[in-house]
């Protein structure tokens, strides 16, 4: 039997089929323009296209499917599961106007007290005209899974963290219930746990087994952590995708909205960390992937760039500076593209190192090794700069693709294998 993991990242969707031993049997991709990442029609097309791209002989043996989305990408649906408005993406900060109201209700420095948290987004959406048609609040991964299993309003405690779900006591906190928002908040289950079998019409349409189970999902950066094989306190994964996301596995939970720091539950341990708006999307604004590869090789690592940027696409960051008004700093810009890239990579390496120092200062376990996921993992020059800043072991991970981690989540969810 096989297991399917589907990753809905920032720059596209990817699917991986694995066997019980974790061997990859098929990998398919559906890239999209960044302008399409906020269209639910594009998400549905991507999901169905990925299913069609998997060889039919493999599809017939898929026993479980799980989907990860970008964290805090959220939407409202009507009673039939139809979106009533456009989704709000992971880094959408329009909910900042609701922070003051929430500060009077939520505990100090709670994860939801961030301009991009799912709860401030929900409060903002509740003021929009479309809210009158809304019945369900869903995360991207929840809605995509709903398309396959047909049950509305089910999420996982990774995606639900930024909605304010209490992942220690597995319930919504009283202060959140007192908000009395007239909407169905999702029923929250364990990531990877089986939710339901495929809808018969989906099984028939895509040549999948009718008893194929759809499992609760996770977020893209947690999926990458699971993929990496990191498992001990002090192990960390930096996702160098469109965004820079840090996860440091710790015995201690760390929560501090002042810095955009929160902790996801992973078994009996905590994934302390945060997600910055800096990262590959800023690089892609100036360089193609081919230029990144070419110019990175020309960087002289013996020299510092002498540049100190805070690379952002637009105003606002989430972590380690949680400030929706933080301006990008990309000046002075050298004429030589190699020098400019040197400054960008070096500056992001410094932001990463500062962020790990902050996590440890606030109580997370001591950083011991850092695995790297995402498009930037392939950049040896960047890895060397980062190693210089981090001064820890940076092992190469055979697999850090989020889709692979999500496939492992599906397998472990239905096979109860030892992880």
Query: What does the binding site for ligand 5RP look like in residue numbers (CB under 6 A)?
Result: 10, 70-72, 90, 219-222, 241, 243, 245, 273, 275
The nearer residue to ligand 5RP, 62 or 215, going by C-beta atoms, is 215
How far, CA to CA in Å, does 289 sit from each of 36, 52, 414? 19, 27, 38
Q: Which residue, 196 or 378, is less far from ligand ADP as judged by CB? A: 378
| 134 binds, options ligand ADP, ligand 5RP, none, Cβ within 5 to 8 A by partner type | none
Instruction: Give the residues lining the site for ligand ADP (CB under 6 A).
Output: 9-12, 220, 241-242, 280-281, 283-284, 289, 292-293, 296, 374-376, 378-379, 382
**In the block, residue with structure tokens 């599906």:** 410
Q: Report, in Å, the least distance between residue 223 CB and ligand ADP.
A: 10
Of 153 and 376, CB closest to ligand ADP: 376
Burial class (CB in 10 A: 0-12, 13-18, 19+), 196: middle
Specify the residue, 339 or 352, whose C-beta has the smaller distance to ligand 5RP: 352
Q: Least separation, in Å, of the C-beta of 23 and ligand ADP?
A: 22
CB of 221 to ligand ADP, least distance (A): 9
**In the Cβ-directed half-sphere of 281, how many Cα atoms lie within 13 Å?**
20
Nearest by Cα to 271 from 365, 154, 411: 365
Q: Is 385 helix (H, G, I), strand (E, B) or coil?
A: helix
- Tokens 């498992």 identify what position? 231
Q: Residue 68 CB, nearest distance to ligand 5RP (Å)?
A: 8
- Angle, alpha carbons 112-161-316 (nearest 5°): 45
What letter does residue 29 receive in the DSSP assignment?
Answer: E
> Which entry of ligand 5RP, ligand ADP, none binds 293, CB below 5 to 8 A by partner kind?
ligand ADP
Least separation in angstroms between residue 282's CB and ligand ADP is 8
Query: 62, 209 in Cβ contact below 8 A?
Result: yes
Partner from ligand 5RP, ligand ADP, none binding residue 222, C-beta < 5-8 Å depending on class: ligand 5RP
Minimum distance between the CB of residue 232 and ligand 5RP, rounded to whole angstroms? Answer: 19
Reduced to 3 states (helix: H, G, I; strand: E, B; else coil), residue 154 is strand
Nearest residue to ligand 5RP by CB is 71
Query: For strand 369-373 and strand 154-156, is the pairing parallel, antiparallel, or unpaired?
Result: unpaired
In whole angstroms, the minimum distance from the beta carbon of 122 to ligand 5RP comes to: 16
- Which of ligand ADP, ligand 5RP, none sits in contact with 353, Cβ below 5 to 8 A by type? none
Q: Which residue is nearest to ligand ADP (CB)?
A: 375
Query: Which does residue 284 touch among ligand ADP, ligand 5RP, none (CB within 5 to 8 A, set by kind)?
Result: ligand ADP
Q: Which of 28, 8, 3 is nearest to 18 (CA)?
A: 3
Whether 63 contacts 213, CB under 8 Å:
yes
If the CB atoms of residues 292 and 409 are measured against ligand ADP, the closer one turns out to be 292
Q: Helix, strand or coil for residue 160?
A: coil
Which residue, 26 or 360, is less far from ligand 5RP as judged by CB?
Answer: 360
Residue the block writes with tokens 């100190």: 308
- Token couple for 115: 């301009």
Nearer to ligand ADP, 206 or 382 (CB): 382
- Pair of tokens at residue 248: 């440091």
Identity of the residue, 70 or 379, whose beta carbon is nearer to ligand 5RP in the bound complex: 70
d(CA 268, CA 261): 19
CB of 341 to ligand ADP, least distance (A): 9
């Amino acid at each position: 039997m096989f297991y399917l993991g589907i990753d809905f990242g920032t720059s596209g969707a990817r699917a991986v089929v694995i066997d019980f031993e974790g061997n990859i049997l098929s990998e398919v991709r559906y890239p999209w323009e960044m302008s399409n990442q906020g269209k639910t029609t594009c998400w549905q097309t991507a999901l169905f296209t990925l299913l069609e791209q998997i060889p039919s002989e493999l599809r017939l043996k898929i026993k479980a499917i799980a989907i990860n989305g970008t964290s805090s990408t959220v939407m409202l649906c009507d009673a039939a599961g139809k979106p009533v408005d456009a989704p709000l993406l992971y880094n959408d900060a329009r909910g900042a106007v609701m922070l003051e109201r929430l500060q009077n209700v939520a505990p100090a420095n709670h994860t939801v007290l961030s301009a991009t948290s799912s709860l401030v987004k929900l409060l903002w959406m509740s003021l929009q005209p479309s809210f009158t048609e809304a019945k369900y609040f869903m995360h991207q991964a929840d809605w995509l899974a709903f398309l396959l299993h047909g049950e509305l309003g089910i999420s996982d405690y990774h995606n639900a963290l930024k909605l304010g779900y209490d992942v220690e006591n597995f319930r919504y906190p009283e202060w959140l219930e007192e908000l009395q928002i007239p909407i169905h908040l999702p029923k929250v289950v364990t990531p990877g746990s089986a939710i339901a079998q495929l809808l018969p019409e989906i099984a028939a349409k895509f040549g999948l087994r009718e008893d194929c189970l759809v499992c609760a999902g996770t977020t893209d950066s947690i999926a990458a952590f699971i993929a990496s094989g990191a498992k001990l306190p002090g192990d960390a994964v930096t996702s160098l995708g469109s965004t820079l996301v840090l996860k440091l596995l710790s015995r201690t939970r760390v929560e501090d909205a002042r810095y955009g720091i929160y902790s996801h539950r992973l078994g009996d341990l905590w994934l302390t960390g945060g997600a910055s708006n800096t990262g590959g999307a800023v690089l892609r604004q100036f360089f193609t992937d081919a230029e990144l590869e070419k110019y990175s090789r020309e960087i002289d690592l013996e020299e510092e760039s002498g540049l100190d940027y805070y690379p952002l696409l637009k105003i606002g960051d989430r972590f380690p500076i949680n400030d929706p008004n933080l301006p990008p700093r990309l000046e002075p810009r050298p004429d030589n593209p190699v020098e400019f890239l040197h400054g960008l990579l070096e500056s992001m390496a410094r932001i990463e190192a500062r962020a790990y120092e902050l996590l440890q200062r606030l109580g997370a376990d001591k950083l011991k090794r850092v695995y790297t996921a995402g498009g930037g993992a392939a950049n040896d020059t960047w890895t060397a700069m980062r190693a210089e800043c981090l001064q820890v072991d940076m092992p190469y991970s055979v697999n850090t693709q989020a889709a692979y981690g999500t496939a492992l989540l599906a397998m472990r969810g239905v096979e109860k294998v030892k992880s």
